[in-house]
Amino acid sequence: MSKKELQPKSPNSNLPLINLNAAGIDIGADRHWVSVPVDRDKDFVRSFGCFTADLYAMADWLKSCRIETVAMESTGVYWIPVFQILESRGFDVKLVNAHYVKTVPGRKTDVLDCQWLQQLHTYGLLAGSFRPDDLSLCPP
């Protein structure tokens, strides 16, 4: 990952900040890239593996960075364990439609994608996809 890739974009002063404690996650098949606000950690973009221990380490890091809400995008089923673990740890998790986020040209890497998600979520510009409650999936 290059230094240029990790440079945060300057905030748009015309938009109000809605979610100050927001993170963005680009979900992958073998790695998840996570971005938090630049003032929360010296490594404000990190990657985590996909095993359960890695997902709990991600949740611990997000807690240590004082994150309350997370936006993630995924085109497959890889989001499910991430969503479940983060939700069980008390995060407000939004699964966003990748089609709506990918329409902006110029972002070609997972690092830039997670930073873009974090920035959009900070400004309150992302809506989560409908996801039924776990209890409604299991009839009595």
Question: Which domains does the chain carry?
Answer: 22-134 (3.30.420.10)
CA dist 33 and 35 (Å) reads 7
Tell me the average pLDDT of the chain. 83
- The token duo for 82 is 């991430």
Q: Which two tokens stand for residue 66?
A: 């004082």
- Whether the CA torsion 3, 71, 23, 27 is positive or negative: it is negative
Q: By three-state DSSP, how is residue 94 classified?
A: strand
Kindly state the average pLDDT of the residues 58-69. 98
Predicted pLDDT at 109: 76
pLDDT of residue 103: 56
- The residue among 23 and 134 whose pLDDT is bigger is 23
Average pLDDT for residues 60-69, to the nearest whole number?
98
For residue 133, pLDDT beyond 80: no
Copy the structure tokens of residue 133.
Answer: 């409650």
Return the ∠ at Cα 9 (arms to 23 and 94), rounded to 5°: 25
Residue 44 amino acid letter:
F
* Rounded mean pLDDT, 74-81: 86
pLDDT band at residue 3 using 50, 70 and 90 as cut-offs: very low
Q: Can you name the residues that pair with 93 across neighbouring β-strands?
A: 70
